[in-house]
Amino acid sequence: MTSNASLPWKSSLVEIALIFAVFFLQGAWPVPDVNEPYYLGKAIHYWNPDWAPGDFFLDSADAHGVFYFTFGWLSLWLSPGALAWTGRVLTWGLLAWAWHRLSVAIVPRPWFSVLSGALFACLVERFHMSGEWILGGVEAKGFAYGLVLVGLEAIARNRWNRAWLLLGAATAFHVLVGGWSCAAAGFAWLWLGRRSPPLSRTWPGLAGGLLLAMVSLVPVLALDWGVDRQAAGRAHEIYVYHRLPHHLVLHARDPQFLLRFGLLIVFWAILCRRIGEHGPELRLRTFVVGTLGIALCGATISLLAILHPRMGADLLRFYWFRLSDVAVPLGVALLGVLWVDRLLRVRPAAGRAWLALALAVTALHLGSLALERAKAAPPRADAKVDALHWQEACAWIAASDIPKDACFLTPIGSHTFKWRTARAEVVNRKEIPQDARGIMAWWTRLRDLHAIEGGESERLWHVSLPDRGTRRVVDLGRKYGAGYALVEAEPRLDLPVLYENEGYVVYRLPDSPQPHEP
């Protein structure tokens, strides 16, 4: 029953290590994970332009410059796989340390930070509404969420100057994660009124946080500068309705996702009523309410978008549901553990029963993850290709004498081509640029390569690039400067074959240099 504050620092380190182990188990997918080629490819190219030179996506505008600058330099010494694991360890370590601080601020009881961390991992994974995650592959938002958690600890302790600085730093790493956190924190500060420090005492932190945020906010705002309104609106429609509706549009979600998230909100509301209004937990609750307010605005915009798609796309691209997917599980985990702690003090039998239930839930979740990790599975980034044969073909290209500045035509489902070969590709579906001009060019390339004539929806696109026929593939190579093609083995193309296996063939297109055997 002692407080965490009275424990030796070694006990805190053990707790952080156990939280790290939970987060490791949650996010240790085979490398690369779904977003790692996207973010780490950009980071590698930022520091080494000779890596996959001339690639359309890598040469597009940078939206996460702080992440590329502060982390990408490690790629000068590390392979992409080693870079991914280094970033994962750093991210999970930051999140584990930050979670421990936040949990202790709400529930200052030994070992309860480990339980709350495991509950948080479980709830984020199994009760999200719009596909948001926090524990997984390395990317900019992982570092941003670590700073947000420490910022929330500062809010829980009523240290608003520190909170604004940390949330500003989070915005520098990821504009939307940090920006929406600032908005929710602003709502909490206003709602608490006299229970929060006045503006006369918090303006230094606000000013400092704004300056930190501007490091990334200005470049992100500049992504659409110099583009006429009609073109920018069309780019936003492509981004929202064709590429990311599963994250951005409420009615594009599976109704089961909405139902389970609604149930989690109800459970959180019950916990709030049980806990009552106190200091640290009240400040945390108002932050969660702020994130739900942001999500409610997004839901309203989603409904209006049915009548006005262009206006809806202009607004929905800002990920209105992102933060609530993390904040509500966070609130349930911390308030749930706080409720168990209070029951153990006043009604020990009931407290032990709820503690046993919480432990059983986390044990089942972590046990299922352990069984899944024990299975040999291909990386999730290769989910849309024949992973084994794809990796063999990419390994052949990487070892061959095909020029480093060569450009390839690749299947629509490929996502790890650059990761595995360090060569450029014309386009792939996953890697959409962030600027309006880049989005329009990406959509044009994607449709040129894969769409059936007049087919706007991806349901009307060709299954494989060879379906287009030899002449069309050659024309596409000339149009986009591709000298080679790595495509599905069937149907065959009437082109020189450099390599083939059961799943894929490497063709040399006309006018490309003849490579030597590796």
The answer on pLDDT for 7 being more than 60 is no
> Are the beta carbons of 253 and 246 closer than 8 angstroms?
yes
- pLDDT value, residue 99: 98
pLDDT for 274-301, tens place per residue? 887 778 999 999 999 999 999 999 999 9
pTM: 0.94
Question: How far is residue 352 from each of residues 101, 198, 273, 341, 363, measured CA to CA in Å?
Answer: 25, 41, 21, 9, 16
> Are the beta carbons of 481 and 423 closer than 8 angstroms?
no
* 303 lies in the same domain as 410: no
Reference 67, options 172, 149, 177; nearest CA is 172
What strands lie across the sheet with 504-508, from one edge to the other? 424-425, 407-409, 484-488, 504-508, 497-500
* 62 lies in the same domain as 135: yes
SS3 508: strand
Pick from 350, 374, 398: which residue ends a domain? Answer: 374
Query: Is 1 a member of any domain?
Result: no
- pLDDT value, residue 226: 85
Q: What are residue 507's DSSP bridge partners?
A: 485, 497
* 311 lies in the same domain as 421: no
Query: Is 43 a member of any domain?
Result: yes
Q: Summarize the chain as % helix, strand, coil (round to 5).
A: 70, 5, 30
Q: By residue range, what is the domain housing residue 141?
A: 7-223+231-374
* 360 lies in the same domain as 403: no
Q: Which residues fall within 8 angstroms of residue 478, CB to CB, at 6 or more apart?
A: 509, 510, 511
What's the structural domain count of the chain? 2
Mean pLDDT of 462-478: 92
Q: Sign of dihedral through CA atoms 58, 61, 64, 68?
A: positive
Q: Which residues fall within 8 angstroms of residue 460, CB to CB, at 6 or more apart?
A: 451, 452, 454
Pick from 327, 353, 374: which residue ends a domain? Answer: 374
- pLDDT value, residue 4: 47
Query: Is 2 a member of any domain?
Result: no
pLDDT for 233-281, tens place per residue? 999 999 999 999 999 999 888 999 999 999 999 999 999 998 877 789 9
pLDDT for 10-69, tens place per residue? 889 999 999 999 999 999 999 999 999 999 999 999 999 999 999 999 999 999 999 999
Reference 428, options 85, 113, 74, 52; nearest CA is 52
> Are the beta carbons of 317 and 254 closer than 8 angstroms?
no
Question: How far is residue 87 from each of residues 18, 46, 93, 139, measured CA to CA in Å?
Answer: 19, 16, 10, 8
pLDDT for 318-375, tens place per residue? 999 999 999 999 999 999 999 999 999 999 999 999 999 999 999 999 999 999 888 8
* 124 lies in the same domain as 210: yes
- pLDDT value, residue 5: 47
* 116 lies in the same domain as 174: yes
The per-residue pLDDT of the chain, averaged, comes to: 93
The answer on pLDDT for 198 being more than 80 is yes
Query: Is 480 a member of any domain?
Result: yes
Strands 484-488 and 504-508, by their bridges, are antiparallel
Q: Which residues fall within 8 angstroms of residue 212, CB to CB, at 6 or more apart?
A: 165, 168, 169, 171, 172
